[in-house]
Structure 1
Amino acid sequence: MSVIPRIEEFSADLTAIRHDLHAHPEIGFEEKRTSGIVAARLEEWGIEVHRGIGRTGVVGVLKGKREGARRIGLRADMDALPMDEFSNLPYRSTIPGRFHGCGHDGHTTMLLGAARYLAETRDFAGTAVFIFQPAEEGLGGARAMLADKLFERFPCDEIYGLHNTPELGPGQVAVFPGKAMAGASFFDITITGSGSHGAMPHMSRDPIIVATALSQALQSIVSRNVNPLRSAVLSITQIHAGSAYNVVPEKAALAGTIRFFDDDVAELVRTRLRKVAAGIAEAFEVRIDVDIRDIFSVLENHETETAAFAEAAREIVGAENVLTEPHPVMGSEDFADMLHAVPGSYCWVGHAGTVPLHNPGFVLDDGILPVGASLLARIVEKRLQAS
């Protein structure tokens, strides 16, 4: 492995930054402390800073020491998850119900590391644009930055991002062209029946019975309507109803997500969900309201930029540790929306540990910080070489 030596020299500083961010997590569009730290660091290193992009986002702009018209964007997400942390780390979350359980504190730190190094060396021809995005976890942070005219104000010819993962070995990087991460819709279903005394259920239209029947029926959509050679997921992730032991409630609610790689499959699942809900409503003589929202686009890596990202990764972690065979995942990532606006690529960087992302016991391996920072810095140096 050939981590950039200068980045390795200040890796202890990167660890300190991440531990501070980890101890003070902020969820989407609340990243005021985090974005303040990011902006202050960039300014300290002589980088031009723009705040409040997409509400709490930060953009840094750095020109190389050689003239060049091309501009490369690097993006990291800053938000934490609305969940508790179950660890004994000395720097564990100090805020109940807030936890960097996906590694975004690491992503922010890695991009800061790349920015510091590039600001010190400026050994490139053109401009590096550092994009610190809020609200990636399903709240539309990328779309908020795009609505704020991100790429009109800060044009980029290419853009790159990364994500940590314990599913790869330490020092491994996975990157491949084409569809890499699924698109996603979120849905909320409200069932309105009529309540009664729990001892007299015949006088009710029990929404809990309807909710359980509907949740079972919806599982038939993927197994019986979607071509088995194409991929889709429909998951019920929330059920809410009732407030007392002896009351049949009036309402029940379901919520969940749909994942897909093709728009026609997504539309099929959404259409069938509404039809199944309508049929269940008629059968049980209740009202069912369905709200389905498009949250994530399908993430598609561009071929030329992906080849460049893979080559940069080989220089940092070695050719034997760069995996380029297509292996799409059903997770979603709103960097996809940026890739619809600007060509680029997104990769995964492996680290030690076995606890999965979004688990209350997840721990990010700090050893990944100089690796990710080196990879982001190197892609700028390679793509902005003097012609």
Structure 2
Amino acid sequence: MDLRYTDEELAFRDEVRAFFATALPPEIRRKCELGQRIGKDEMKRWVRILHERGWATPSWAPEWGGTGWDPVRQYIFKEELAMAPAPEPISFNMNMIGPTLIAFGSEAQKRHFLPRIARMEDWFCQGFSEPGAGSDLAALRTGAVLDGDHYVVNGQKLWTSTAHHADWCFLLVRTDPAAKKQQGITYLLMDMRSPGVSVRPIVTIDGHHETNEMFLDNVRIPVANRVGEENKGWDYAKYLLGHERSGIARVGVSKFRVRRARQLAAKVMQGGRPLIEDARFQERVAEIEIELKALEITQMRLISETARRPSDKPDPKSSILKVKGSQLQQAAAELLLEVAGLHALEFDPGFVGGRPDADDDADDWALTIAPNHYWARHVSIVGGSNEIQRNILAKTVLGL
């Protein structure tokens, strides 16, 4: 069942679907279908295809390369991207640093970085979390001391996703240790090739290298690479995280996983008949689909409310989307695991990043399901843990 889109919105959805059907390289599509990781070169190739179409940065202001789409069209685009399935452009670039620079960056920073970000000439990572400062991000201790026209930075960052691919990092540092912990924080842009930057891989439970430790030893960052004012970084970080959470429900991702589970369940035999005919399996699919529809309606309601708000600050109710969206992503990943059954016991992390040559009629399709199920556990933590999101809702929405 579709939401009540207008005729124009339905025509736009058809246009997006047709583009993805023809422009997405088949080998990349197949890797997405199988749940395999997309390599750096593949991601750059896909983003540049989107950029040529003018669709790489749909949420940006038009004067900086955005599409000018309203929030409904942006939502449709994201859902069709996930359902194609196609790689989601790197969020650090498109949804985080891009909008933050547009809002708070200097004119020189905008002119230099925004075109390069949009074309994936610069790949950014996020230097926020630290040991002891993850959910409580304001407890960060990485320090920066002003020395002439540079900041000298020392400290450690943790769980830095894609740092091994990144050219740049947007970084939170403490510039006033005497201030309250939410104050005295500054937002810097750091060249990952700077002397004193070292990256150590973290291989997670899915067997994949996505996250890293990052060590900063007397790293010199030009003052010109400071975003906004000194000691105002916490305000900019909240703005960035609000933009991150506005699309974090990822309804399309969960819809694709349920659709994939249905397709595979029609081929998997259990008790002498296809699993898709099992009443308990059907009930589980229906339960997730009903919750997805409720989440989708909540997302559209929030989009409508946001369009009527005088402020462009993200609505704190986006935390609802983060909590429920992550739970349903995990539920859909678990549904695929149920379909795979014993086949998922054959754990092959190499296949997750391997060639898209698996056959759905063989058992190879199951090799990524367990790793991706494990990987899905992290979505209730990233972007602000669900516990923190519940606190935000209690304080800002319920007034508790």
Normalising by structure 2, we get a TM-score of 0.25
Give 1 or 2 for the bigger CA radius of gyration: 1
Structure with greater proportional helix content:
2
Structure with greater proportional strand content:
1
Of structures 1 and 2, the one scoring higher in RCO (CA 8 A, sep 6+) is 1
